[in-house]
Structure 1
Amino acid sequence: MQIETLHDVMQWTKNMHQELHYFAANCAQKSDSVRVGLLLKYISEHEKKMAQVMKKFEDNGNSSALNTYSRHYYEKFTISIHTEGEHPFEKMDTDEIAIVTLEYHKNIVGLFEYLQKCSCAPSVTEFLDNILSVQEAEGRLLARNMKQIDDL
C-alpha cells in the first residue's frame, strides 16, 4: 500500500486491525487448546471492532486533516504482519499471543504518537489526539481482558 496522506495511514491502520482479526479467527479454529482458542476468538472480535472504529474515523474525519501529507512519517514506522502461510499464533501459548498482539498495538500507538508530534496544524493534532485516545484505551482494555481469559 502506498502511503501518501493521513487518510492512507487510516486505511492502513484499519487494514492492520482487519488482518489481525482474520488471523486470530483462523488460528482460533485450528487451536487444540481451549484457552488459546478463547483468547484468539476474543482478539479476533476486538480487532474486528477496532477496524470498524478506524473506518468511522476515516469516514467522519476532518477532510483537511485526512489529506495531510504524511509519507515520510509512515516510512519511519512500518509495521508488518506475517500474511502468507502458517501464522505464528498457531504455535504460541496464551502469554506469547498476548505479547505479540500488544506489540502490534504498541507499534500502532507509536506511529500515531509520532504523527502527532510532527503535526503543526491544530485540526490534524486534534484528529490524532482522538485516534490516540481510542487506540490507547482499547489497548488497555485488550490487555486487561486477555489477562482475564488467561486466568481461566
Structure 2
Amino acid sequence: MSIRTFGELIDWTRDLHQNLATCLRHCAAHHDDDRAKALLTYLASHENELSRIVDEFEHQSAKNTLSTRIYDYLKHQTVHSHESCDLHYAQLNFDAIYQQVMEFHDQIMTLFQNLSERAEIPEARDLLESLLTMETNEAKRLASQVGRMDDL
C-alpha cells in the first residue's frame, strides 16, 4: 500500500493490525502446544480490538488532517509483518510468539514517534502523538496480560 496521507497511514495501520489478527487466529488452529494456542487466540482478539481502535481515529480526525500529505514516510523502513499467513506463528513457542508481536508493536511506535517529531502541522503532530499513546498503552496492557498468562 502506498502511504501518501495521514488517512492512508491510519488505514495501513488498521490493516496491519487486522492482518496480524487473522494470521494469529489461523496459526492458533494449527499449533500443537495448548499454551501457545491460548496466547495466539488472545493476541488475535487483542489485534482485532486494536484494528477497531485505529479505525476510530479516522472517524474522529478532521478531514483536512487526514488529507495532509506525509513526505517523510518514504524514508522509513516498512514495518515487518507476515502479510501472507504462512503458519509462521504456529511453528514458534510461547516466548518467540510474544517477542515477535511486541517487536511488531515497537516498529509501529517507532514509526509514529519519528513522524511525530517531523510533523510541521500541529494537528498532524497531535494525531500522531495520539496514535503513539494508544499503541504504547496497548503494548503495556498486552505485556501485562501476557505476563499474567505466563504466571499460570
Same fold (TM over 0.5): yes
Residues in 2 aligned to 1:78 and 1:71: alpha-carbon distance in whole angstroms? 14
Share of identical aligned residues, percent? 27
Distance 1:54 1:85, change over 3 A: closer
1:33 deviation in Å?
A: 1.1
> Which range is displaced more, 21-30 or 64-73?
64-73
Name the amino acid aligned to 2:21: H
TM-score computed with the length of structure 1 as normaliser: 0.94
Counterpart in the other structure of 1:15: 15
Q: How does 1:36-75 map to 2 (within 5 A)?
A: 36-75=36-75
Q: Which segments of 5 or more consecutive residues in structure 2 lack a partner in the other structure?
A: none
Residue 131 to residue 84, structure 1, CA distance change in 2 (3 Å): closer
1:120 aligns with 120
* Contact 1:62 1:127 (8 Å CA) reproduced: no
Whole-angstrom distance in 1 between the partners of 2:48 and 2:84: 20
Q: How many residues of Structure 1 are paired with residues of Structure 2 in the alignment?
A: 152
Q: What's the TM-score once normalised by structure 2's chain length? A: 0.94
Runs of 4+ in 1 over 3 A off after TM superposition: none
Determine the structure 2 residue equivalent to 1:81: 81
Q: Distance in 1 between matches of 2:84 and 2:20?
A: 13
Matched, 1:93 2:93: yes
Gaps of 5+ in 1: none
